[in-house]
């Protein structure tokens, strides 16, 4: 991806001026960055001669790839049509990169399969190849997400009201199956800031079934520092000492 850094800086400044607007990208992209970094680090430190560690780590890579594939589909189905409806051509560059990312996802899946099937004496080399290609995938995605958060948001904010953006967001969320939603919650909630965390869990508290809300709290509790958990409980109007699976 080649971008004019001066132009990106101007777009980023414009985006900062709209910091209070509804942002369709902020939360999920923080979660994706955390998931990508965590998975890459796991592959880098993997003992590929340990059968259990090899199986667990490659499974994490496949989970990342599945989640990335779904994320691309959600943006293609909901956000890109919104861009094109009011700014024809606005999603063209990123849509092309989505096609490249889909090819990268397939390649990485093939590299995982090759690692699992190769002879023991070839595992170190296969693991190094997977690590290198995964690092490129992560770096490309980090830059890609920045463009979406700046250039795409600038288009959306100029042409849609916050109420309309919320409608797009709600339609996207409604399309996500429960198991994928819980995976997203696990990676998003610990890595967004306290205000974003309170807003996301507060919305779940108000609108999701109680068991789903309880499950979300239980899922994220081990990944929050005590101070973060305390802030979250207070923002939700729940007792600070409350365990994650106790009744409200």
Nearby residues of 144 by Cβ (< 8 Å), 6 or more positions away:
1, 94, 97, 101
Q: Are 165 and 156 in contact (CB under 8 A)?
A: yes
Mean pLDDT across the stretch 42-67?
A: 98
The pLDDT assigned to 166 comes to: 97
Q: Are 41 and 34 in contact (CB under 8 A)?
A: no
pLDDT band at 232 (very low <50, low <70, confident <90, very high): very high
Percent pLDDT > 70 in the chain is: 90
Mean pLDDT across the stretch 193-215?
A: 95
The pLDDT assigned to 19 comes to: 73
Mean pLDDT across the stretch 73-90?
A: 97
Is the pLDDT score of 8 beyond 80? no
What global pTM score does this model have? 0.90
Q: Are 163 and 201 in contact (CB under 8 A)?
A: no
Mean pLDDT across the stretch 202-224?
A: 95
Q: Is 136 exposed, middle or buried (0-12, 13-18, 19+ CB in 10 A)?
A: exposed
The pLDDT assigned to 3 comes to: 53
How much is the mean pLDDT over the chain? 92
């Amino acid at each position: 991806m080649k971008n004019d850094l001066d132009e990106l800086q101007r777009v980023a400044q414009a985006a900062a001026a709209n910091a209070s607007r509804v942002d369709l990208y902020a939360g999920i992209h923080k979660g994706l960055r955390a998931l990508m970094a965590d998975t890459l680090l796991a592959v880098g430190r993997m003992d590929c001669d340990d059968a259990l560690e090899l199986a667990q780590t490659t499974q994490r890579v496949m989970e990342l790839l599945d989640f990335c594939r779904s994320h691309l589909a959600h943006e293609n189905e909901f956000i890109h049509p919104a861009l094109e409806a009011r700014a024809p051509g606005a999603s063209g560059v990123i849509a092309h990169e989505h096609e490249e990312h889909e090819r990268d996802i397939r390649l990485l899946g093939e590299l995982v399969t090759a690692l699992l099937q190769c002879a023991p004496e070839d595992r170190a080399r296969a693991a190094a190849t997977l690590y290198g290609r995964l690092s490129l995938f992560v770096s490309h995605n980090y830059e890609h997400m920045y463009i979406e958060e700046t250039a795409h948001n600038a288009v959306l904010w100029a042409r849609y009201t916050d109420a309309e953006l919320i409608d797009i967001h709600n339609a996207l969320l409604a399309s996500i199956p429960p198991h994928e939603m819980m995976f997203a919650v696990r990676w998003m909630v610990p890595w967004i800031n306290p205000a974003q965390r309170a807003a996301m869990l507060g919305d779940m508290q108000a609108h999701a079934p109680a068991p789903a809300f309880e499950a979300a709290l239980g899922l994220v509790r081990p990944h929050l520092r005590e101070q973060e958990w305390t802030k979250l409980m207070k923002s939700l109007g729940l007792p600070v000492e409350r365990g994650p699976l106790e009744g409200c």
